[in-house]
Amino acid sequence: MVPKLDVRRANAEKKYAGDLSFTFEADPSLVEIPLVCISSPVEANLHYEILEDDSVEIEGSLAFTLKGSCSRCLKETEQRVCGKAEGYFVPHGADEEDYSYSNGVIDFGEFLRDSLIFLMPARLVCSETCAAPEYKEE
């Protein structure tokens, strides 16, 4: 389950920073590699910081496992993918680089989706031989 961050409540409780750790099921359509899927829930560890103007900085990491056929030789394989996730949320409207939130509550859905797309490798490979760019197919 993806938690929401209640910025108003956090402010009222003077919890201006904190950590969120959770797992969630990724949308299968995020994986564009043929015959590959995310085999386990995505693990998210995020740190938030609420700034004086109520904008919120999020940074942390996401980790997940890709499973399926090697993009080169089709052998069954798995790959662990880990990477950073960063976002900046502003209350009411945002320019294109930022996320906006309304009613004092941040929904991480779009941010997590974008972060996963960013971390997603272009292909899944089973070995260094298959990963090597100089490998030539006959």
> Residue 37 CB, nearest distance to Zn ion (Å)?
17
Q: List the one residue out of 20, 23, 16, 24 whose CA is nearest residue 4.
A: 20
DSSP helix, strand, coil percent of the chain (3-state; round to 5): 15, 45, 40
Q: Dig out the tokens for 77 from the structure.
A: 């394989």
> Residue 75 CB, nearest distance to Zn ion (Å)?
5
- Segment 106-135, which members bind Zn ion (CB under 5 A)? 126, 130
Q: Dig out the tokens for 96 from the structure.
A: 């294109």
Q: Which is nearer to Zn ion, 20 or 130 (CB)?
A: 130
> Residue 35 CB, nearest distance to Zn ion (Å)?
12
Does 66 engage in binding with Zn ion (CB under 5 A)? no
Cβ neighbors of 40 (< 8 A, separation 6 or more) are 64, 65
Q: Dig out the tokens for 5 from the structure.
A: 């961050």
List the one residue from 63, 73, 81, 90 that touches Zn ion (CB under 5 A): 73
How many amino acids of this chain bind Zn ion (CB under 5 A)? Answer: 6
CB 75 within 8 A of CB 126: yes
Q: Which is nearer to Zn ion, 68 or 87 (CB)?
A: 68
List the one residue from 70, 116, 119, 120 that touches Zn ion (CB under 5 A): 70
CB-nearest residue to Zn ion: 70
